[in-house]
Structure formats: structure tokens, C-alpha cells
Structure 1
């Protein structure tokens, strides 16, 4: 089966000034699909080459036209004022939304191809006609996706989970009690209630794009950091706090920050109000507010490198099971293979009512 895959971001480390969180898991997913026997052609611009100078064309295929495919896979894009909504090719314009519109028009509306729409940011409108379009399956990276959608979580390599050693991770030197890696988008409330009070009591660093910070003069903001530094920051830190926009919290959507931290041995502290928090975190790491978070970091500093610390890291690794790549590939198989099989039979004229 040949999949046309549309994403706006990078497979490699990309460039620093970009909010593309998909770099932590996109290549893992694509390589998993290739290993499973799918063919992949990328349908958006090759940003790895054009912006980062990273030539991956010996390994992957890009096509700026409308190539022959069996199914469409969309990492859903949405209107972003000042970027993909301004005239093309105006200054600052990105063509992701225009290109996606063309792909939807040609492959879904025009040819009726099966499509998996991965609404990674929960930006697809509830009344969008694509939700009821024949052959389209909407997926969300949430434990409890919205009605009518399926769960397709951000994938973690099975081998990365199985190969992580809680003992060595717990014994690593960690000079930073608290870190947060990520951008401000829709996280002000969670930041003010959870992170800021903990940051008042513990040394910390916040890495990412946070343009509005006047409410927290005591917080150390380091600005955007290269993607290659994400793992190093987590390996320096004892703990992080999972900051979740409300729309994620109600559906139990955990971003890549969860497994980026866990695989580096940085313990994720989770807000109790996030649905499903107890499924992905041990009870000891769930808090109700910033005071509890600060107190918890005190306790974690006290048990650092001990058997209790090792057990907490092991418990977090165990709870990544739901995010395994193998589980996400099974979801994609279940969505696309039956649809493509039926369409091929219909195209060949092999209908049930025919002799």
C-alpha cells in the first residue's frame, strides 16, 4: 500500500526557530510504517532539505505534485493568522494549509481515497464536514478521544522503552531540580498554577518560546533551544511538570514531553485534573497544585539515586506501554488496510452481487 503522508515539520533535528513537536516521534512512526511494508511519499515541502540543509532524499521520497497513492495520511493543519492565512507567496507565508486544501480536494473529495486525519492539536472543528466524509477516519493522540474519533497516540519506539535502564537513569548526576521544555501555547493557566509556584522554591529552567512572561518575574526563561538539546536538558533535570491545555486535559492527551522526559530519567509530575493521569503516571507523581508540586520535588531530591527513585522511573517506563510504536501501527493497519482493500475490489469490479 502506498501512503501519501502530509506533515509540516521535520524528520531530523530541523531548525531551532520552529514549534514542530513532531520531531520526537514522526520519523519513528514513518520508519515503523516502512518496516511494516508500506510505501510512503511525503506530500508537503521537504523542509529538512530546504530549511535545515539535511538531505534525506536517499532514504525518503517527496513529491510536490499529486502522485498515485492508495491512501492519504494527514497530520492536520489549521489556519494560523499571519502565517498560512496571508497571501501566497507573501513575506512570512507558509503553504502548509494551501497544500493540505489541495490534497483534500483531489484525493478525498475528488477521488474518494481512504484517509486518516490525525488531529494532533485538536484543531479540527466539531462540525467540519470531513468528520462525516466517507472513507475518512479522524484520530487524536488522546486516551479518551472525542466521540466519532479513534485514539492514535504519539508513538514511542518499543526498543527505547525496553532498553531503558531505571538504575542507570536514577544514578545519573542531575544538577537541575526542575525543567520544562515546550512552548507557551495555551498553557498560561497550568503554568501559573503548577510550575510557577514550584519554580519559586527550586532551581529551574524553562526552554521554549514564551513571549509573554511578565506575570512570572522569578522564572528563568532560556528561550528556544535546538531540538538536539531537549534530551540533554531532561538528563540534567530531576523532574518536569506536564503542562496541558484544557482541551488536552479533558481528553487525556499527553504530548511527547511525557516520554521525552521519562526516557531520559526525568520524572514527570502530572496534574490531577488531566483525565487518565493515573494511567500514565504512578500516584506518587500526581499533584493538585503548585505547592504540592514543590513539596514533591523536595521529596524527590531527598530520594535521588535510591531504590525509591529507581522504582519511580521503572513505574513511569512501564506506563509508556500504551504509547508503544507497535500499538500505534496496529491502529493504522486497522484504519487503512480494510478501506483500501474494499476500494480495490470496487475498482476492479469485483462486487459481491456480481458472478
Structure 2
């Protein structure tokens, strides 16, 4: 099947000043689809080449409308001052109107369309949900009514090759770390990370956090290159999975889980996360900042065997996010869409 894929971001390392978390899993999904025999053409600007100067062995068609069997959209939404302004305006990005053009040309003409609402931004009453040729997917264990579950994929090879004992045997410079941006995470940060970091001073936060005055004790590094994410987690004993409320209630886990686990960093998950035990062992699910603080302290003095056992349990549960599983889900949805 030839898939026209629309996304606004990078497949490679990209640039530092970007919030594109898709770099951790987008190429994983595309490569798995290609390995399964599908042909993928990208329908937005090749930002890897234009902005990062990286040439990658994929196919782009940024302006035309090539022949495809299915359209797949990583959903874009209006961001005032960025993609809602006229073209050629300083700071303008063309992702939103290109997406609209693709929908007008392909989707409204009846082509099967997968709309992957990765940040749960598609309004519940959006007319696209009612179109018979559109399948809405969310990266959640409990997607919205009418939507399907398509989780962020983890490469099969990475899971198969991960060695819990070797990963947890590494020296850890930081007791607690988080890599990610502030967006809608203040409540979770207040409940969990802020109390824990007050007791464990050997911590850090990397990412875009503009409003930090209420946490003067926290060490904020600012944004770091994507290539450094694994290194930071590889130097940290633990992380806390900070999630917006809309992700907590739907059981939508971000890439931070597998980024940490594959680097041997033990992830603590808020108890508010729906069906948390499907992705993490009960030992790493915490219900308060004080509980997180105590658990981090216990893990800091735990033996390598205990930490390896916990990491092995995390790796086992990551099988749910395995790339081959997500490709199978997509193929089932694509086949159903073609049959409609």
C-alpha cells in the first residue's frame, strides 16, 4: 500500500529549538511500515534537509498531490502567531494550511484517511470524525469514543537487545532527572517532581520551561539537543513521568517512558495515570510527592539486582508499545478503510 504521510517535524536529530517529540518514534514507525512492504511518501516540508541540513533516504512531495492509497496525518492544530498567520510572515509555518489542502484533496474526495491525534487536540465535535473514510487514532490506552488506539512505537530490536543487568550496572550521576517541555505539566510537576527534587538535590530538568519562578530549588538546564536525551537518562537513576491531565485520564503515555527505560533509568508513574499497571510494575506507581521521594531514596540504596528486576519488568510491559504491534494495528485499520 502507498501511504501519504503528513507530519511537521523531523525524522533525524533535527534542531535543538523544537518541541518535536516525534523524533523518538517517527522513523521507527516508518521503517517498520517499509519493512512490512509498504511505500511511504512524506507530504510536508523536508525539515531534516531544510533546517537541519540532513539528507535522509526517504521520499518527500511537499507541494503536490501524488497518487496514494491512504492518507495518514499526524494531526496539526492552530497555533496562534505560528501557523495561523499569512505565508511569508516572520515565524510562519505552513503545516496547518498544507494539512487543510491535503484533507480537501484526498479526504473529502473519499480516500481512506488515518488521523493520528497524537496530542489529543482534535475537537470532539470536529466534522472529520463523522466521515466514513476517516479513522481517528490516539496514542492512548483509552482513546476517545470512536477513536482507535495507536501507541507510540518502540523498535523491536531495541526491546529485544536491552539487557536490564547491563543497563542498571552503569554509574548514575543524577538521582532524578526529567527531559521534556513544560506544556500543561505544571500540576503534575507540583504534585510529584517538585517535592522529590527538594529532598534529592542531585537532580535536573532539561527542556523548555519558561515559567519556573515557583520552583527556585529545581535545577533547570533549558533545551538540549535530541542526541543528548539518551545520555541524560543514562546518567539518571530515576525519572518521574510528567503528563498533562488529558493524558493521565486517557492512559496516554509519551515517549519519555521508553526513552528512560532503554537507558536504564527507572520511571516513576503517577497513580492518576489510567491503567498504569499495563505499562509499569506496581512498585514504580506512586500516589504522592512524598511517596515518590521515599521510593527514589529506596532505589538509591537498592542493589543492582533489585534495580535490574524492576527494569526487566518495565521492558516486559513495553511489549505493548512494540513497533510490530503498532504496524499490525495500522494494517488492520488500513485494510478496513480500503474495504469501506
Query: TM bucket by the smaller chain?
Result: over 0.9
Q: Deviations over 1:273-325 (max 9, x none)?
A: 110111111111111111111111100001142x1111001001001011001
Could you report, residue by residue, the CA deviation over 1:91-140 in whole angstroms, capped at 9, with x for unpaired residues? 0001100100000011011x210000000000000000000112100000
Give unmatched runs, 5+ long, in structure 1: 344-355
d(CA) in 2 for partners of 1:19, 1:338: 33
Partner of 2:79: 80
For 2:12, the equivalent position in structure 1 comes to 12
Q: What is the TM-score with the length of structure 1 in the denominator?
A: 0.94
Shift of 1:232: 0.1
Q: How does 1:58-77 map to 2 (within 5 A)?
A: 59-64=57-62, 65-77=64-76
Of 174, 181, 184 in structure 1, the residue corresponding to residue 182 of structure 2 is 184
Any idea what SS the aligned residue of 1:117 has?
strand
Please give the alpha-carbon distance, in whole angstroms, between the structure 2 residues aligned to 1:131 and 1:86. 26
1:199 to 197, 200, 209: 197
Counterparts of 1:128 and 1:15, CA distance in 2: 32
1:161 CA drift (Å)? 0.7
Partner of 1:328: 326
TM superposition shift of 1:86:
1.4
Partners of 2:36 and 2:160 in 1: CA distance? 20
| Equivalence map 1:1-355=2 (5 Å) | 1-56=1-56, 59-64=57-62, 65-109=64-108, 111-202=109-200, 203-305=202-304, 307-340=305-338, 342=339
Secondary structure of 1:9 counterpart: coil
Decide whether the 8 Å contact of 1:21 with 1:256 is kept in 2: yes
Deviation by residue 1:173-199 (Cα, 9 ceiling, x = unmatched): 111000000000000010011001111
Q: Partners of 1:262 and 1:304 in 2: how far apart?
A: 18
Partner of 1:92, secondary structure, is coil
- Structure 1 CA distance for aligned equivalents of residues 291 and 50 of structure 2: 46
> Is 1:262–1:313's contact at 8 Å kept on the other side of the alignment?
yes
Residues 1:263 and 1:180: Cα distance change in structure 2 (over 3 Å): same
Question: What TM-score, normalized by structure 2, do the two folds share?
Answer: 0.98
* CA distance in structure 2 between the aligned counterparts of 1:97 and 1:139, rounded to whole angstroms: 19
Question: Quick one: distance in 1 between partners of 2:25 and 2:257?
Answer: 12
- Post-superposition offset of 1:338: 3.3
- How far residue 339 of structure 1 moved from its aligned partner, in angstroms, is 2.5
Deviations 1:225-276 (A, max 9, x none): 0000000000000000000100001110000000000011100000001101
Paired with 2:272 and 2:337, the residues of 1 have a C-alpha distance of: 37
Q: Supply the distance in 2 between the matched residues of 1:279 and 1:37 (Cα, whole angstroms).
A: 30
State the alpha-carbon separation in 1 of the partners of residues 79 and 30 from structure 2.
26
For 2:335 and 2:143, how far apart are their aligned partners in 1? 22
Distance 1:31 1:267, change over 3 A: same
* Aligned residues of 1:170 and 1:304 also touching (Cα < 8 A): no
How far off its partner does 1:150 sit? Answer: 0.4
* Gaps in structure 2 of 5+ consecutive residues: none
Give the aligned length: 338
